Amino acid sequence: MADSNKPNPETCDNNCSSCPSGATCPSAGGKLPPKANIDAKHTILVLSGKGGVGKSTVAVNLAYALSNHGKNVGLLDLDIHGPNVPKMLGIEDHKLLADQNKIVPVKVTGTLQVVSMAFLLPEKHSPVIWRGAMKSGAIKQFLEDTEWGSLDYLVVDLPPGTGDEALTIAQLAPNVRGAVIVTTPQEVSTLDSTKAITFVEQLNLKVIGVIENMSGFICPHCGESVDLFGKGGGERIAKEHNVPFLGSLPLDPEVRKAGDEGRPFIIRQKDSLTWKAVDNVMEQLVKIVET
């Protein structure tokens, strides 16, 4: 059987920048764009195969957890058509400034800064109607033309799927440590998450781990958990692909409330079972990427 990770010479169109094998293909030569010239020790991609699984929530809380460990963190929101990170951090009314032709990120704390397409929209409800080439150009600008300073971590929140944004950032970002895959338990989600894992592996990147989100609904009245979307799908695909399973996070109204209020859940309600689950997953993530 042919290796699906390798391009077919008969069908190759020599467009290495849009090929998932371009980063490792021996025939690519010097065709790939150079890595962006930014000072980031580690880049972590957060992605999912399907939308609506809580990927941005994970990215925001991971970035906050890393900054709470004293790390200088940049959070790059590359969900260009649906940028929600500023809303979740309570900074949606901010705009990006420029200093000597460099974009100045929005500061959340002394060790956490954010760049998002949302900061460039004329109105918060304005749609972004762009094709792939424009998105790739914007990603390059967000990387190279931004005054990030010296970062310990660049956390990248990607749109769902395995399209232009994920491929472009994988090719341009320096020191990509790997990707965190976020899924919900049901098969409709895990099927697409499996594709995301395969995508990461075909780029010769590491799958840092799988997170199963919305794994049981926590009743706000009695505290019992009900498996609305099933249970165990995330752990199953992690085992099938021999990658770490980072843990399960319940579906809790307080997590939704935290995002709507613009405060990361990781800094709220430290006595709740959900907070303990979130904190445990984030601690595992930090431990893996720090080693």
Domains, the chain: 39-290 (3.40.50.300)
Residue 4 clears pLDDT 70, i.e. is over it: no
**Residue 243 predicted with pLDDT over 90:** yes
Q: Which residues of 224-254 are buried (b: 16+ CB within 10 A; e: fewer)?
A: ebeeebbbebbbbbbeebebbbbbbbbbbee
Residue 246: the pLDDT is 95
User: Is 90 exceeded by the pLDDT of residue 252?
Assistant: no
Question: pLDDT tens digits for 163-183?
Answer: 899 999 999 999 999 999 999
49 is in an annotated binding site: yes
Residue 29 has pLDDT above 70, yes or no: no
SS3 218: strand
Kindly give the residue spans of alpha helices, DSSP state H, lying in 120-272: 132-144, 164-172, 187-202, 233-240, 253-261
The mean pLDDT value for 230-245 works out to: 95
Is residue 51 marked as binding?
yes
H or E stretch including 59? helix 55-68
The pLDDT of residue 132 is: 86
- 53 annotated to a ligand binding site: yes
Q: Is 21 annotated as a binding residue?
A: no
As a whole-number percent, the residues of the chain with pLDDT over 70 amount to 89
Q: Express each pLDDT in 254-288 by its tens digit.
A: 889 999 999 999 887 677 888 888 888 888 888 88
Task: Give residue 1's pLDDT band: very low, low, confident or very high (50, 70, 90).
Answer: very low
pLDDT of residue 14: 53
Per-residue pLDDT averaged across 217-227, rounded?
81
How far apart are the C-alpha atoms of 41 and 123, rounded to whole Å?
A: 34
Q: Dump pLDDT digits (tens) for 105-163.
A: 999 999 999 999 999 998 889 999 998 899 999 999 999 999 999 999 999 999 999 98
Cα 100 to Cα 116, 141, 150: the distances in Å are: 20, 14, 18
Q: Is the pLDDT of residue 33 over 80?
A: no
Q: What is the pLDDT of residue 273?
A: 82
Pairing assessment for the beta strands 102-104 and 97-99 based on DSSP bridges: antiparallel
Q: Is 56 annotated as a binding residue?
A: yes
Of the candidates 287, 70, 35, the one whose C-alpha atom is nearest the C-alpha of residue 175 is 35
52 annotated as a binding-site residue: yes
